[in-house]
Amino acid sequence: MRKFLFTMLLLVAANGWIDSALAQEAQTIDQQVNEIFANITGPFVSLIFAPIPGTSFPWIVMWLVIAASVFTIYFGFVQFRFFGHAISLVKGDYSDPNDAGEVSHFQALATALSGTVGLGNIAGVAVAVGIGGPGATFWMILAGLLGMASKFTECTLGVKYRNEYEDGTVSGGPMYYLSKGFKERGIPGGKVMAIVFSIFCILGALGGGNMFQANQAHAQISGIVGNYPGWITGIVFAAVVFAVIVGGLKSIARVTEKVVPFMGILYVTAAIIIILINYDKIGWAFGQIFEGAFTGLGVAGGFVGALIQGFKRAAFSNEAGVGSAAIAHSAVRTKEPITEGFVSLLEPFIDTVVICTMTALVITISGQLIVDPATGLYMTDGSMISTIDGNTGVELTSAAFGSAISWFPYVLAIAVILFAFSTMLSWSYYGLKSWTYLFGEGKSKELVFKIIFCIFVVIGAAANLGPVIDFSDAAIFAMAVVNIIGLYFLMGLVKKEFNSYSERLESGEIRKFKN
């Protein structure tokens, strides 16, 4: 089976290569890459984002929000009731001192966050607010809060069903809980779902975890130094990624992992400063968010348009229900898998409810979005809201921060590049774990994936934003299709752990080591 899949993949790759070689030579490399890419991915993208018949609402967004609501109700609003407990766990209050030296809750959370905090929070939110208006923020926060329950479910399972090898290393994630959990419950099809998930995860790693990042990083750099071909940025990025994941140049990865959290803190601090400078507009901004959430304030598609944008960006940014975080969280050392579930629910909170909201507030308060003074509604240009300098995506966020702190766009550019890089490294790991699940462990098999990953960095930087963002979203959401079906079947197992743990916590059997 593994051999067969491997050969198939090589054939597909070879086929794409020949096609590209035959493409007209008159086009530039960037155009060629873009065209081939859009043609190959088109049908897949349309399927994932197909609207629910009779509406303009993509079914996949509904799928994620319904799942998050189901888990929220099923676990009795765990994200609110155990929020404080989650913070105690991260602080290490419940960590056994004898386990010192193992992966702590804090480390697992920080690693997972560095995979999710990234361009989604900066560029993605700007896209959402740029189309759906400030009202999209309301729906984004709501989706973030609900998504905490999805994350809780998947990360508990990720730790519970991970593989621990004899040499002491661990591998976990949806592919393991789908196959082992289904077997335990006596439900057939777990293995097939695990394989399908792994395929989508590889595509997601190459799409949202790679091409989208490379693409936006290039947009940032060319925004500062002037326009130049994307493949140049691609090759530079690919070389650095190659040095880290193939060459084993751990020092770069370590530096990134240390700098990224500070960039995140710097970003939020800058946002808070800008909001405080404009303290007189805070009330107005929240008014716009609430009013826009239910009326749309003139945006394309009205309030449904705002809702779709908010939900979509939240899901793309915090990845709740997608399954990727379950891979990152599964390395933690704990006797109680559920504790990692509690810790993981902080992730959508930090990512979406805090960081994404900051971006949205800064864009709203900065007045980049043009309001018609006569009607109080936003002026639109096609589906987008008109902005002062016609900026969209990451440039819109940059302009919003720049309007208050003139030098901040430079800091933001560095932050974007670092976020993009750390997200790529995280996703290269998620993709690799899925790859080895399909084809087995082994140096040469791993090398094949790593090289493919680096090639996609170049493609991502060279292609236009449109096809890249479509494919990235589609691939990541496709993971959620399989993962959430699995979560529905396995949530009973999480409930059992949850009940047992809460009882022991209440009775005092589980107690703090630190006072």
Partner 1 sequence: MTTTLVIGLDGHESGERVLDYGKRMAGLIQDSELLIVYIVEWSPYSFQTPEENAERHKRREQEISTAFERVVNPAVEKLEKAGIKAKGIVRHGHVADILNSVAKEQNAEQIIVGRSSGRGLAGRIFGSSTSNLVMNAAVPVTVIG
Site residues for partner 1, window 331-360 (CB under 8 A)? 331-333
**Could you give the 3-state DSSP secondary structure of residue 387?**
strand
Q: Are 313 and 61 in contact (CB under 8 A)?
A: no
Burial letters 312-333, b for 16+ CB under 10 A, else e: bbbbbbbbbbbbbbbbbbbbbb
CB of 436 to partner 1, least distance (A): 11
CB of 430 to partner 1, least distance (A): 8
List, in order, residues 6 or more apart from 270 with CB less than 8 Å away.
Answer: 401, 405, 408, 411
Q: Are 426 and 167 in contact (CB under 8 A)?
A: no
Q: With binding defined as CB under 8 A, does residue 246 bind partner 1?
A: no
Q: Are 432 and 257 in contact (CB under 8 A)?
A: no
Could you tell me the two tokens for 515? 């006072």
Site string for partner 1, 113-152 (x = CB under 8 A): -xx-------------------------------------
Q: With binding defined as CB under 8 A, does residue 328 bind partner 1?
A: yes
Residue 159: count other Cβ atoms within 10 Å of its Cβ. Answer: 26
CB of 257 to partner 1, least distance (A): 4
Class of residue 184 by CB neighbours under 10 A (exposed 0-12, middle 13-18, buried 19+): middle
Stretch in the footprint of partner 1 (CB under 8 A) among 3-11, 46-54, 109-117, 297-305: 109-117
* Type of residue found at 453: F
Among 18, 22, 26, 100, binds partner 1 (CB under 8 A): 100
**Could you give the 3-state DSSP secondary structure of residue 371?**
strand
Stretch in the footprint of partner 1 (CB under 8 A) among 22-30, 177-185, 206-214, 257-265: 257-265
Token pair 């621990």: residue: 164
CA–CA gap between residue 329 and residue 103 (Å, rounded):
10
Stretch in the footprint of partner 1 (CB under 8 A) among 179-187, 188-196, 326-334, 471-479: 326-334
CB of 356 to partner 1, least distance (A): 21
Q: With binding defined as CB under 8 A, does residue 434 bind partner 1?
A: no
Half-sphere exposure of 379 toward its Cβ, with a 13 Å CA cutoff?
12
Among 267, 429, 456, 477, binds partner 1 (CB under 8 A): 429
Q: Are 86 and 106 in contact (CB under 8 A)?
A: no
Q: With binding defined as CB under 8 A, does residue 168 bind partner 1?
A: yes
Burial letters 69-85, b for 16+ CB under 10 A, else e: ebbbebbeebbeebeeb
- Dihedral angle at the C-alpha atoms of 371, 380, 56, 46, nearest 10 degrees? -130
CB of 202 to partner 1, least distance (A): 16
172 vs 230, which CB is nearer to partner 1?
172
Among 111, 339, 364, 483, binds partner 1 (CB under 8 A): 111
Stretch in the footprint of partner 1 (CB under 8 A) among 15-23, 36-44, 91-99, 473-481: 91-99
Among 257, 291, 446, 497, binds partner 1 (CB under 8 A): 257
Q: With binding defined as CB under 8 A, does residue 201 bind partner 1?
A: no
List, in order, residues 6 or more apart from 389 with CB less than 8 Å away.
Answer: 399
Q: With binding defined as CB under 8 A, does residue 95 bind partner 1?
A: yes
Stretch in the footprint of partner 1 (CB under 8 A) among 90-98, 126-134, 198-206, 443-451: 90-98
Site residues for partner 1, window 217-236 (CB under 8 A)? none
Q: Give the H/E segment covering residue 163.
A: strand 163-164
Stretch in the footprint of partner 1 (CB under 8 A) among 79-87, 324-332, 394-402, 459-467: 324-332
Half-sphere exposure of 193 toward its Cβ, with a 13 Å CA cutoff?
25
Among 53, 97, 188, 226, binds partner 1 (CB under 8 A): 97
Q: With binding defined as CB under 8 A, does residue 443 bind partner 1?
A: no
Q: With binding defined as CB under 8 A, does residue 171 bind partner 1?
A: yes
Q: With binding defined as CB under 8 A, does residue 170 bind partner 1?
A: yes
Stretch in the footprint of partner 1 (CB under 8 A) among 25-33, 165-173, 274-282, 400-408: 165-173
170 vs 414, which CB is nearer to partner 1?
170
CB of 117 to partner 1, least distance (A): 12
167 vs 280, which CB is nearer to partner 1?
167
> In sequence order, which ranges of 133-189 are alpha helices (DSSP H)?
135-160, 174-185
Stretch in the footprint of partner 1 (CB under 8 A) among 72-80, 296-304, 330-338, 435-443: 330-338
Burial letters 461-476, b for 16+ CB under 10 A, else e: bbbbbebbbbbbbbbb
CA–CA gap between residue 12 and residue 22 (Å, rounded):
16
Q: With binding defined as CB under 8 A, does residue 63 bind partner 1?
A: no
275 vs 438, which CB is nearer to partner 1?
438
Phi and psi, residue 441, nearest 5°: -75, 160
Residues that bind partner 1 (CB under 8 A): 92, 95, 97, 100-104, 106-108, 110-111, 114-115, 164, 167-171, 250, 253-254, 257-258, 260-261, 327-328, 331-333, 425-426, 429-430
